[in-house]
Chain A
Amino acid sequence: MTNDRVSQVAADAQASAAPREKKVSLGWIRSASVVAGVALLFIVFSVLTSSFYAPSNLLDILLQSSINAMIAVGMTLVVMARGIDLSVGSVVGLTSMITASLLPQNFLLGIVAGIVLGVLCGLINGILIAKLKLPDFIVTLGMLSIYRGAALIFTDGKPIYGIDATFRAIFAGDVGGIPTPVILALAIALLAFLVVRYTAFGEQIIAVGGNEEAARLAGINIDRVKICVYAISGLLATFAGFVLIGRIGAAEPIGGAGFELQAIGAAVIGGASLFGGEGNPLGALVGALTLGAMQNGLTLLNVPSFWQLVATGVVVIVAVFADQVTRKRR
């Protein structure tokens, strides 16, 4: 990935005269500032607290970031196709409630039902956006409310306690000391990266996000591409929900509230452009880790969680601003 970046920049620089280099260097500043920001975060927290740098805490950060990382990978694909999915947090809540309620009756049914429902939620989003040409922001904002409402209606607002032990071992256990959520998140991001880089679907996502009309006139089925990315986003939100209830040992209808902002933040920090056509699922991992490390460090510093919300919001807006500044210049 780094190699490719380098050759891309070299090619760009050769292909063009002086003014183009300005833009390339802006892109470099952007990537470099993410790396520098993460490094600074680690240094500051390591200096200010004794426990931040401890291996057990670093592992904790990985674990805490993995839920957001999974959602952020889906969000990255959606954003690359120039969409947005605000409903992911509610999908987490709804699917985890359904799975939690079915697990005691039939283990497999519980998992399959959750997955099917998650994909279905994404399909509904995608169909409304692609076929009815409704604005993605409004559709997924409406669905944020509808899916959350459905989760609350399902048990009249009550949580479901007692998650199956096998289920917890799969989605929130560990293999050789490495938590399964971390392995899962890594596998998902890697798979998504390969899809983006080496498949027709991946290129079609970039084409639809980069220039929808050109993609359509090249004969690409843009509706299908859009519907697919929302379905994937729903699926990955479901997995995140599995990890969430696995870790807590209970499912709450309000589970996953606010996850959309975290996921959008991680995607953008990781290099996804809200203007579409650019993004990297592996970058989403870095983004999720950045936000996770920040929240972890602030907790260690005894900063109240309310302030952490403020900090997260600031970081996300700054990341989007940086994206705008580096991409809009022509």
Chain B
Amino acid sequence: MQIPNAETPSKPLLQLRGIAKAFAGVQALKGVDFDLRAGEVHALMGENGAGKSTLMKILFGVQPPDSGTIELDGVGEVAIDDPRHALALGIGLVSQEPSLVPQLDVAQNIFLGQTEALGVVPRSQFQARAREILKPLAPRLPVTARVGSLGMAERQVVEIARTLARGGKIIGFDEPTSSLTPAERDGLFALIRQLKSSGKGIIYISHRIPEVYAISDRVTVLRDGRVVASRATQEVSADELINMIAGRRLAEELQHSAKPVVRAGGTEALRLEGISAAGKLHDINLTLRTGEIFGLAGLVGSGRTELARCIFGADRKDAGSVYVNGKPLDLRQPADAKAAGIALIPEDRRKQALVPNMDVERNFGLANFQQYSPSGFLRLKQRRQDIERYIEEMAIRPRRAGVRIRNLSGGNQQKVVIARWLQSGARIFLFDEPTRGIDVGAKFEIHELMRRLAKDGCALLVISSELPEILALCDRVGVMRGGRLVQTIDDCSDLTEDLLMKYASGEVTRS
């Protein structure tokens, strides 16, 4: 673990030892060691579900570890009770969704939770302090601006300032660039370098390898809740890094992801004409054919999820028409979409797809009451037989239909959700981040399942922020930006991640 870097002082700012944590029967962390020095950027990498976010939640007091110790320089061993306590200890987090109060202004947000300590200090005084803190970070950001009116990059600056205002020495960044344009990303990197040179310790979580090379001094890779390696970034090649992150499974995945032959276009399954929703979607036109997988790429907040929800009748649209099999339909609520043979597999399983207290069988049945209880009473035997068939076919683990769904892993939960909609007889599938938070093995199985659906003549719309997923799965790709479908690529043979990223951020507008 000794890093041959003259700049780094010997005593770490932060030392995590043997951190272990289990959720719902899944051992998320199995004894993780991690340390951070002053003046370094330490990248933390790993697949979804490898344990990165759990480790961060423990460090920032969101959850207590089951075992292991956290030691801070100058403080000693600490038990961090909650995020507020973490902030007081000088540990701040810039998360994917900033935890700011949009109704308050910049200065108020920076000192939020500290105001009691400040007593009846006049507003002008802590605005002045806020200005002082922001000066090196973003001198032009007005401290009286409401946070709700700020862009993502500016909100991140406010979060950084909030940590600095409390004398913070450790700042974690959790996928900070996922909703930034390339220009904003460069600005953030400049900021991080500045923090680094002023002696702060930075933890940088990302799954983007080029970013990790651009910004970090050291990189630690987690896989299945363990540290695979912790090395100086420059000593590791990108290939090595990929192998460490994905393990041997990656080879299998790449082997199997050989793109299916572009199928001669099927018949029209879903057509969108001029779909608009105030402030979110602008004039979306799109045709989805049977047997094809259409990918939707774009930054977080570009309107992809909103589009899927609009099609499904979950959110209201202001204008435009949806045609299913050539017929215009008025889909006002999810029940209408279901009746038209449309399925939505939403991005947040726990919040949007599952009733956690119900067992697997009942969760499976949620969209299938018409089938299983035409008279009101449930045909339990029939339903049990059906779910058991899916459990076998889709290799859902554990194999019992009576287990509460919250005890299943993310991948198995997702299979149950897909089984639910298969049983409903849906022919048009809207997948929103279908493999988010799912381990590599299950991810591969779900990809296979999606390909099979397309082969069987279903039409699939797949939203994904993982560009490799889009490239591996999709026959055609659309790119959204600012609520508009800005690009449709019919021939994906020359498509690269880099090009998709450029479309999504608006750097390139024509192919």
Contact = CB atoms under 8 A, between A and B. Distances in A.
A220 interface: yes
Interface string B346-374: 10000111111111001001110100110
A14 interface: yes
B279 interface: no
B369 A220 contact: yes
Given A17-B27, A219-B367, A211 B354 contact: yes
A19 B377 contact: no
B269 interface: no
A18 B400 CA distance: 19
Contacts of A211: 351, 354-356
B104 to A, nearest CB: 24
Contacts of A218: 334, 338, 353, 366-367, 420
Given A16-B24, A19-B22, A213-B351, A219 B356 contact: no
A277 B24 CA distance: 19
Interface in B38-75: 66
Contacts of B312: 217
Residue among B27, B337, B367, B369 with the highest chain A CB neighbour number at 10 A = B369
**A interface bracket (residues with beta carbon within 8 Å of B):** 20 to 34
A278 interface: yes
B23 interface: yes
A164 interface: no
Given A211-B351, A214-B366, A217-B314, A20 B24 contact: yes
A203 B369 contact: yes
Contact of B355 (A19, A20, A277): A277
Interface in A194-229: 198-201, 203-204, 206-207, 210-211, 213-221
Contacts of B398: 14-15
Contacts of A278: 357
Contacts of B314: 216-217
Interface in B5-39: 22-27
A214 B26 CA distance: 23
Interface string A219-256: 11100000000000000000000000000000000000
B66 A19 contact: yes
B403 interface: yes
Contacts of A310: none
A17 B366 contact: no
A18 B27 CA distance: 10
B402 interface: yes
B345 to A, nearest CB: 9
Given A15-B398, A211-B354, A218-B367, A200 B66 contact: no
A141 B458 CA distance: 50
Contacts of A7: 402
Contact of A198 (B27, B377, B408): B377
Interface in A5-31: 7-8, 11-12, 14-20
A11 B399 CA distance: 11
Given A12-B403, A20-B24, A201 B376 contact: yes
A220 B335 contact: yes
Given A206-B355, A206-B357, A216 B404 contact: no
A15 B403 CA distance: 7
B319 interface: no
Contact of A217 (B24, B334, B377): B334
Interface in A242-283: 277-278
Closest 7 CB pairs of A and B: A16-B25, A219-B338, A210-B355, A218-B366, A200-B373, A200-B369, A219-B335
24 contacts: A7-B402, A8-B359, A11-B402, A11-B403, A16-B24, A16-B25, A17-B25, A17-B27, A19-B24, A198-B377, A199-B373, A199-B378, A203-B362, A204-B369, A206-B362, A210-B358, A211-B354, A214-B354, A215-B355, A217-B352, A218-B366, A219-B337, A219-B338, A278-B357
Interface of B: 22-27, 66, 312, 314, 333-335, 337-339, 344, 346, 351-359, 362, 365-367, 369, 372-373, 376-378, 380, 398, 400, 402-404, 407-408, 420, 424
